[in-house]
Chains A and B, each alone.
Chain A
C-alpha cells in the first residue's frame, strides 16, 4: 500500500486510424487509487511517518539507545530530565527508581510494542479470518457454533476476558499477547463473516463455482481477496489497541514482568513515585499515546482510502 510506484506517463491520445476507437479507457488499479486518496490526507501521512520512525527506532534499538535498558546507575537514582534542576544530558529523560536510563528503556520498549502489535494482529487476523470464512461460507451448524461462541466472548468485557486468560496462562508478555489476540478474535470473525455472506451470493462466485472451483478455492482465492479492505482497516486499528491493551495488562502486573522495559509495566513500577518524580510516569505513557495515536490516524486515513462505504 505504501510503496510509491512510479506513475506511467499519461497515455498520449493518438489521433490516427479508427482502430483505436475500440480501446477501453485505462482504469487505475484499486491499490493505486487508494494510495492517491491516502496521499491527499495530510494527517494520515504524518501518522505514517511517525510509525515509520518508531519502527526504525525499534529495529535499531541497540544502536540508538545510549545505555542498556536494564543497566542500573546506582549513583543517580530518580534523576530528573536534563532541563530540570539536577538533571544532566547524561540521562536525557532522567532515570527511574533503580537508576535506569528512561530514554533507553523507552527505545527498547518500542521494539516490544511493535512486536506485540505484529504478533497479536497476525494471530487474531489469521484465526479470525479462518473462522469467519468457515462460518460465512459453510453456514449451518458450524456458523451457529462459531457465532454463539463469539457472542459469548463479546459479552464479557474485553479487558476482563484478557485478565482471566492471562490468569489461566500465567502472567508474562507472550501470554498477554495470546490473551489479547483471543479477545480480538470476535471482531475479525464477524467482519469476515458478514463480508463473505454478501460476497458469496455475487455472480463472480457463482461463475467460479460453475467453472468447477472447489470449496477451498472459492473461500480463499475467489472470495477472500474481495473482503480484504475492511480487514486491513481493522488490522491497523487493532494494532494500536493491542499496544494499548498490552500496556494495560503490564500496568496491572499481568503482562511483561520486570525488568522488561515494556511501557505499561514501566508505568506500574513508577506508580508509587507519581507525586515525587513526574518524569518516571509521564514518558512511558506519552510513548504509548504517540504510538497509538499514529496508528489510529493512519487507520482512519486507510479506511477513507480503501473503503469509501465506511467513510465517516
Chain B
C-alpha cells in the first residue's frame, strides 16, 4: 500500500518536471524570434556604409559600390533582408563577416573558447572564494571579519573594472613584472590549439613552460572579471546564511548537540544555496558585459573584443549573429538555473 503510494507520487512528480522543461523551451522560441527582430533592426539602424568601410582609404567607384551592395544583398528592402536572414538562420547559417568573409558562426566558435575559459575561471574564483567568505561573515556577524568582508565586497561591487584592470597592470606588470600585459600566450610559444582552451592546449602540447605562461596570462583578467560576481556572491551568501540560521530547524539541530560545523555544512548551507544559485545564474549573464571590458583591457582575443570591433567596423552579420548567439546562451543558462532549483530544493520540484 505504502509502496504503491510512493510510486504514484513519483510518477506525478516526474511528468510535470518534463512538461515544465518542454514548456520553458517552447517559450524561448517567441523570445528568440523577438531577439532576431530587435537585433536586426538595431544593427541596420547603425549609420554608416559597410561597403565604404570595407573599401577603406582607397575608396571605391560608384559602379563597384553598387555591385558589392548587390552581392551582399544590402540593396534589397529591409523586410526582404530580414526574411532571408531568418531563412538562413533556420539552416544554421548566420551569414558571413563583412571584414574577413568567414562564416560568422565559425568566427564565433573559434573565439568563444577564449571567452569561455576566462569566464569559467572567473566564475570558479568567484564561487570558491565568495561562498566561504559569505558563510564566515554570516556566522561571525558583527565581527571585524564580517565588517571587512562586507566592506571589501561593497567596494568590489562598486568597482569600475576597466580601471581595476589598469591598476593591476600598473602593479603586477609594471612594478613587479610578474604578469604579461596582454594576450593569452607569449609569442615565443607556438602550439596547436585543438580545443581552443589555452590551459588545456598548452598541457597537451607538452611544451615546457607553456602552461605556466598561459596561466600567467590568465591570472589578471580572471581577477578583474571575477571581482563583481565575487562581491555579489559573498553578499548574497551572507544574507542568506543569516536568514537560514534564524530558522527553527537550525535551533533543533543545535539542541540535538550537533557540531557547529555540521550544522553549517549540512543543514544551513544547503538551504542557503537556493538564492545564491539564482544570483550565480544572473551573474553569468552579466559576465558577458564584464568580458567586453576585460577583453578590451587585456587584448584578450575573445567574443567581447570581437563584438566591439564589429561595432567599429559596421560588420552587420557578425554583430547580429554574435548578439543572437550570446542571447541564446544567456537564456539557456537561465533555463538551466531554473531547473537546478528543482535539484537543490525538492519543495520547488514537487510544487510544479
Q: Give chain A's interface residue range (CB within 8 Å of chain B).
A: 35 or more
Interface string of A151-175 (1 = CB under 8 A from B): 1111111111001110110100000
6 interchain residue pairs of minimum CB distance: A285-B163, A159-B289, A157-B288, A312-B239, A292-B158, A293-B158
A76 to B158, CA, bound (A): 33
Binds A, one of B58-66, B93-101, B198-206, B326-334: B326-334
The 8 A CB mask of B136-173 against A (1 = contact, 0 = none) is 00000000000000000011011110111011011001
Name the contact of A155 in the complex, choosing from B160, B163, B327 (C-beta under 8 A): B327
Q: How many residues from B make CB contacts under 8 Å with A?
A: 48
Q: Chain B interface secondary structure, helix, strand, loop or mixed? A: helix
Q: Are B160 and A247 closer than 8 Å at their CB atoms?
A: yes
Question: Which residues of the partner chain A approach B46 to less than 8 Å between Cβ atoms?
Answer: 164, 167-168
Q: From residue 110 to 159 of chain A, which have CB atoms closer than 8 A to chain B?
A: 148-149, 151-159
User: Would you call B331 and A252 a contact (CB within 8 A)?
Assistant: no
Known pairs A152-B34, A157-B288, A157-B289. 7 more at Cβ < 8 A? A148-B34, A155-B331, A159-B290, A163-B292, A275-B174, A285-B162, A296-B158
Q: Which residues from chain B contact A223 at a C-beta distance below 8 Å?
A: none
Which residues of A, 237-291, contact B by the 8 Å Cβ criterion?
240, 244, 247-248, 251-252, 264, 267, 271, 274-275, 278, 281-282, 284-286, 288-289
* A296 to B158 CA separation, bound complex (whole angstroms): 7
1/0 per residue, CB under 8 A from A, across B280-316: the answer is 0000011011101100100000000001100100000
A154→B162 CA distance, assembly (Å): 23
B160 and A281 within 8 A (CB) = no
A306 within 8 Å of B (CB atoms): no
Are A289 and B239 in touch, CB under 8 angstroms? no
Which chain A residues have a beta carbon within 8 Å of chain B's beta carbons? 148-149, 151-160, 163-165, 167-168, 170, 240, 244, 247-248, 251-252, 264, 267, 271, 274-275, 278, 281-282, 284-286, 288-289, 292-293, 296-297, 300, 312
Contact indicator A157/B160 (Cβ below 8 Å): no
A-B contact pairs, 16 of them (CB 8 A): A152-B34, A156-B35, A156-B323, A157-B286, A158-B286, A159-B293, A164-B39, A168-B47, A244-B160, A248-B293, A264-B162, A267-B160, A281-B167, A281-B170, A288-B163, A312-B235
Chain B residues in 8 Å Cβ range of A159:
288-290, 292-293
A228 to chain B, nearest CB (A): 23
In the complex, what distance in Å separates the CA atom of A63 from the CA atom of B208?
A: 61
Complex: A165 Cα to B319 Cα, angstroms: 12
Asked if A164 and B239 make an inter-chain contact with CB atoms under 8 angstroms apart, the answer reads no
